[in-house]
Amino acid sequence: MPGVIAGSLVATGVAVGLAELYAEVVGTETRTRHRVSRDRFGAIAADSIAVLFGISFPAVFFLLAAADVMEVHTAFVWARWSGLGLIGFYGYMAGRLAGAGVATCLIQALGAAVIAGALIIVKALLH
């Protein structure tokens, strides 16, 4: 079962990453009324790879569970909370890339993490 979950996460990451790539290319071409250049396509593809990574990352914990390094329940816990850390990191890096100072970026990361944490708690209560 954990191997199937890992495979599902990676397959979902690939599907969503490709959908993101397609949507960004079509949106850019529609907005600019020009074909996407190779340079711009590379930037769009890099963003799509980040999406793929973010979705697929928790597969690592399920692969560890499949290898009997951890229990499946533990893999779910680690997957859930590592996502929170990843979202906080993305919030921090978005601020840094936008030129904000460290303190502002930390506040932005904390805000993103609080929202993600609230969603995790709601999901845990509903499932």
> Number of C-alpha atoms within 13 angstroms, CB side, residue 125?
6
Domain that holds residue 6: 1-70
Show the tokens assigned to 26.
């079509």
Q: Look-up: residue for tokens 């993490």?
A: 113
pLDDT of residue 123: 83
Query: How many structural domains comprise the chain?
Result: 2
Identify the sign of the CA torsion 74, 77, 83, 84: negative
The reply to whether 75 and 114 lie within a common domain is yes
Cα separation of 65 and 78, whole Å? Answer: 11
Residue 121: what pLDDT? 87
Looking at the structure, tell me whether residues 18 and 38 fall in a common domain. yes
Asked whether residue 55 falls in the same domain as residue 84, the answer is no
Locate 64 and state its tokens.
């560890």
Q: How far apart, in whole angstroms, are the C-alpha atoms of residue 49 and residue 47?
A: 5
Q: Using one digit for the tens of pLDDT, what is the confidence trace for 69-108?
A: 999 999 999 998 888 888 999 999 999 999 999 999 999 9
pLDDT at 106: 97
Q: Are residues 24 and 75 in the same domain?
A: no
Inform me whether the pLDDT recorded for 16 exceeds 90: yes
Residues 39 and 3 in one domain: yes
